[in-house]
Amino acid sequence: MLTNWSGNHPYAAARVHRPTSVDELATVVAGAEQVHALGSRHSFTDVADTPGDLVATDALPETVEVDPSRRQVRVSGGTTYGRLAERLHAEGWALATMASLPHISVAGAVATGTHGSGDRTRSLAAAVAGLEYVDATGALRSVRRGDVDFDGSVVALGALGVTTHVTLDVEPSYDVRQDLYVDLPWDVALANLDALTATGSSVSLFTDWASGRVAQVWVKSRGTEPPPTLYGAAAATGTLHMLLGADTAAVTEQGGVIGPWHERLPHFRMAFTPSRGEELQSEYLVPRTHAPAAVSALLSLAPSFAPLLQVAEVRTVAADPLWLSPAYGVDVVALHFTWLRDVPGVYGVLPAIEAALLPLGARPHWGKCFVAPAADLRPLYPRFDDFRALAARLDPEGTFHNQFLTRHLDLP
C-alpha cells in the first residue's frame, strides 16, 4: 500500500503511474476521468490524492538548465530541492531560500506554498518565474510571471494540472553560517521579536509552548560574524537537534562554521531522514502584526496539546502576491507544530488552536494537518473566489479535483 512519507495517509487512488516522458504523462492525464499529481509525498493529508489515477513525477527526465542572462533555472517539477541545490551550487548559482527539508520536490513545495524563513525572504513559490504543466486534455500549457493567470497558477494545489517544469529565480552562490542559542524566556522573546528575527537572514525559535521558554534559537546568516546579542540566551556549546534525543548527525552543520548555502539553509541533511520520520505536522501563518496575540494564545492553550507535541517552531516569511499563498499580501509569522503520529489526538486539538488563530488572520499551510473548511478559509484569502473561477475555467470537468479541494476550496 502506498502511503505518504509519515505513513499516516494511505493513498486511495485506483492506479499509480510513473511516466518516464512528458508525452507518456500527457497520455495518462488525457485518458483519466480523475487524476492528480504526486510529488515526494511529504504532505500529511489527502491534498495530493484522488480515487482515480495518481501520477508520480519523479521518473520524468531530470532537467536543470541555468540561464545566466536571466538569472533563472528551468527544473523538472519532480526534482527535489536538495538535488537542485547541488546542481546549482556546482555551477556557481543559488536559491534565495530553502525549506527546512531538502527532500521535497520543487513542484509539490511550490504548489502548497511551502517556505523557508526570513524577515525579507518570501516563500519558495515566490521565486517561480514560469510553470509548464499538462492540463486536463493532455495539452502542454505554460504560464510566466506577468501573465494574467500567473499569480493564481503557482500555489494551485494540483487543481490546474500536472507540473512538468518550473522556472525559478537564482542568484550567485553564497556562504551561510549557522549559530545556535539556548534558553530564552518567551516574555523576553516577545518583547524583542522584531529585533530577534532580524539577527540573521533566517531565524527559527523552537519551543514546547508549555515551559514558557524558547528552548533553541537557530540563526542562519550570510555575514561572517555571529549576532552581537541574543537577549540573554546562551550560545550552544555543541551540535543540537530540535527534538530531544534525536540523532544530531541528521542536522546541518552548526557552531558558526561557514559553508555553502545549501548545506546550511535547510535544518536537515539530504542524506538523512528528517526529524524522526513518524510524525504529523501543522502550521499556521499569522500576519506579523498579530503575532504577539497568537503566541500568547498558544502559551495559554499549551496544556491541552503539549502531550501530543514533539516540538514547535516559529519563523517569519515575507509577503508575496500569489493568490493562495499563506503569505499573500502580508508579512507573516509561521507557527509550526511537529506532532506525535497520533491522528485522533492531533485532530482533536486542532479545532481549539484554529479557533484561537484564524480570527487573527492565520492561514493554514496547505500541505499539513488542519480542519478549517472552505467557509472559514474564504475570508482569509482575498482572491479565494478568483482562484475557484480560474480552476473552473481551466478544468471545467473537475478532472483534477479531489476531496481535499472540495472540503477546503469548495471545488465541486
Q: What DSSP letter does each residue of 53-122 carry, written as one string?
A: EEEE-TTSPP-EEEETTTTEEEEETTSBHHHHHHHHHHTTEE-S---S-TTSBHHHHHHTT-----TT--
The answer to whether 275 touches 339, Cβ cutoff 8 Å, is no
Q: What is the DSSP letter of 358?
A: G
Tell me, what's the pLDDT at 228?
Answer: 83
Plot region of 221 (φ>0 → left; ψ -120 to 50 → alpha; else → beta) = beta
Kind plus residue range of the DSSP H or E element containing 153: helix 150-153
Cell of 122: 518570501
Exposed/middle/buried for 148, CB within 10 Å: 0-12, 13-18, 19+? exposed
Residue numbers of the chain with a pLDDT score lower than 50:
none
Question: Vertex 311, ends 308 and 312: CA angle to 5°?
Answer: 105
β-strands 171-172, 234-235: how paired?
unpaired
Which domains, from first to last, does the chain contain? 15-56 (no CATH), 64-173 (3.30.465.10)
Model-level pTM? Answer: 0.97
The answer to whether the CB of 62 falls within 8 A of the CB of 73 is: no
In degrees rounded to 5, what are phi and psi of residue 48?
-115, 35
Instruction: Report the distance separating Cα 334 and Cα 315, nearest Å.
Output: 5
Q: What is the pLDDT of residue 224?
A: 85
Identify the CA nearest to 312 among candidates 219, 241, 242, 236: 242
Query: What pLDDT sits at residue 229?
Result: 83
CB of 155 closer than 8 Å to CB of 189: no
At 259 the pLDDT is: 97
CA distance 253 to 267: 9
Predicted local confidence at residue 287, as pLDDT: 98
> Whose CA is closest to 353, among 287, 310, 294?
294
In single-letter form, the type of residue at position 10 comes to: P
Q: Is 130 helix (H, G, I), strand (E, B) or coil?
A: strand
Whole-number pLDDT of residue 276: 66
Comparing C-alpha atoms, which of 312, 331, 316, 326 is closest to residue 408?
326
